Amino acid sequence: MSAPVLIIGGGPAGMTLALALHRSGVPSRIVDARPRGAAQSDARILALSYGSRLILESLGLWRSIPHTPIETIHVSHAGGFGRTVMRAAEAGVPALGYVLSAGALAAALDGELDRLGIEFAAETQAPQDSNAALTVHAEGRVDATTGVISRDYGQHAVICLACGARPHGGIAWERFTPEGPVALLPYEAGYAVVLTCPAEESARIAALEEAAFLSLLQERFGPRVKLTSVGPRQVHPLGLRMRRNIVAERAVWIGNAAQTLHPVAGQGFNLALRDIMELAETLADAPDPGDAALLERYARGRQLDRRATATFTGLLVRLFSNDFGPLKHLRGLGLLALDLLPPARAFLARRMMFGARAW
């Protein structure tokens, strides 16, 4: 008998859901058009929150995933006063987040699926007339043309690895500039770099010789960290695409198929993990995983976190990625106030670690 839940997509989101459903006693199977293990070649670097670590620990995965802790987050903006620093010790956690390879995460997930004997049909097209009680779309982008919240930020992210003159000390740096945010995330012995730039300039910037790109990056980021070398660059367009409704008749959308966010504050995959765990908890002990009332309850339960997270990331981009004089002074005051108010800083840290339900 076929498993009642069919998961289309064998990337990190689909594999995590299969493991979460297994833990909840709900059988599932994965179909993926790519060869088995294709997700392990994903070169992206992920920033996971402490809350996401707890999720992966609950699935028995964390120890097998190489990761670099983020012990401190330093936030500043170019051309003005004010900055804030959040520390893991102040928040009462071992780390505020962790930086890891998407490919390494996929390898750990795949290994656990194999150990548990969860069905994974690779190089297989999704059936058009599945008899599954519930079909979960966990692959690709938000492809709907209606019922979608969409915003083009006019920005691209140039992503690479870099080495610093000194050890990173577990510090993640987020610096807002008029051209867009620049993030340096501690990764292994160096940094994972996310340089945001206007879309029309991204190809030229990514193609710069190493010395020229390093000079531009250093100029954008400032003197707080001295970078000595950078690796090959990749370019990713940035925007918001979010399905207003993540459920339909006997269907659910998760991961990038449900929403893609701006990478500022690194909330995308963390939100996906929270979606996944709530879906698995909702389906536990359900006689019919595709029951319409059950799916609507799940969608309502996720609405606050999804919309609040999208609003939070979009607001950061709009407030900090411009050079409007009065706003520059206001955001400087905001960063200063945040730094002087430990309760507000703790709330923001918990919001980033656990989502909209942090309180």
Domain locations along the chain: 5-147+239-354
- How large is the average pLDDT for residues 33-56? 93
Contact yes or no for 225/129 (Cβ under 8 A): no
**192 pLDDT more than 70:** yes
Architecture category of domain 5-147+239-354 in CATH: 3-Layer(bba) Sandwich (3.50)
Longest dimension (CA), the chain: 65
Tell me how far apart the terminal alpha carbons of the chain are, to the nearest angstrom: 43
Distance CA 321, CA 45 (A): 23
The token pair that represents 292 in the structure block: 């319409």
- Name the amino acid, one letter, at 117: G
**Burial bucket for residue 317 (CB in 10 Å: 0-12, 13-18, 19+):** buried
Using alpha carbons, select from 14, 9, 55 the residue that is nearest to residue 278. 55
Who contacts 54 (Cβ-Cβ below 8 Å, separation ≥6)? none
**128 pLDDT more than 60:** yes
Q: Is 207 helix (H, G, I), strand (E, B) or coil?
A: coil
In tens, the pLDDT along 310-356 reads 887 777 666 655 554 445 545 555 555 455 555 555 656 665 656 65
More confident site: 149 or 15: 15
Q: Are strands 251-253 and 247-248 parallel, antiparallel or unpaired?
A: antiparallel
- As a whole number, the mean pLDDT across the chain is 87
The token pair that represents 132 in the structure block: 């599954």
Q: What is the pTM of this model?
A: 0.89
The token pair that represents 179 in the structure block: 């051209």
The total of other beta-carbon atoms located within 10 Å of residue 29's CB is 16
